[in-house]
Structure 1
């Protein structure tokens, strides 16, 4: 029998804004999850009113590279997104993910409401209690502010540039690890 899940109405769609290193990695991961309508690369929680990739990379704007995830909570919960988020980057390294160093690569959860903030903090307390990472979490939890979508060429960058060095040697292994661990949550196809 065919799946007859109704299309989500705009009233049922929620957003989450996540920072976990290079946005190309997180966007490639979150766009493959059931219940995710779209993952968009962008910049958040900085001071500059009109950040550009070059200025963010220089550390001039205070923004983090983020992915804004639009999702249907009837299919995937915010807590499920947190599980994937924490499995997809190292939340114990301050302003760094692998060889990517700078405040733009910080680990952050930029919340859209009080419920998200409470859920994020409770989730992190549980990770710390269970000592999942063996080191303290440095993930920042703060209200989302000053969000800007990244330039068009960054959207679905890894999908459009699979042979580019960073995509082949950094993004692809992270995506493969994600796909193996979360097989049951992948979109069909």
Structure 2
């Protein structure tokens, strides 16, 4: 949804910058939240199969983190930026399909509905405290990821304060439209 807004603002550097920032901010928070909350559960609840799934998902995240770090150095709207961002989105599309069709159903079956809801709330809370930018060199597993995140998050949030983002009304509208389609 945010990527579509980025694409829709082609030729509008300010608009593309805002939507690219929003998109990368959301991807970073979501990825780290999964690594801290969901992947340890995959490993603890599903044993060796869960460990393999979590490792595969961490590899997917590393690919995305590497590309997001790369695009920080590219000009928003440039051919290189657009190609790298599309590569991220294409990779994420495959990653999401695997998680939603394989990983999460198995985990939810093991957790049960009540515990699954608690995990979802924990995931949402965790996203409020994690870094908001890509740190591909940081550890991808707790407890070291947690420590690295606690150190990086304040610096990221300071950078965010000086970055352009879409207005809250714009992002809420896009999220409502996406939710109505589901």
Given the two structures, how large is their TM-score scaled by the length of structure 1? Answer: 0.30
Q: Which has the higher helix share?
A: 2
Given the two structures, how large is their TM-score scaled by the length of structure 2? Answer: 0.31
Q: Which has the higher strand share?
A: 1
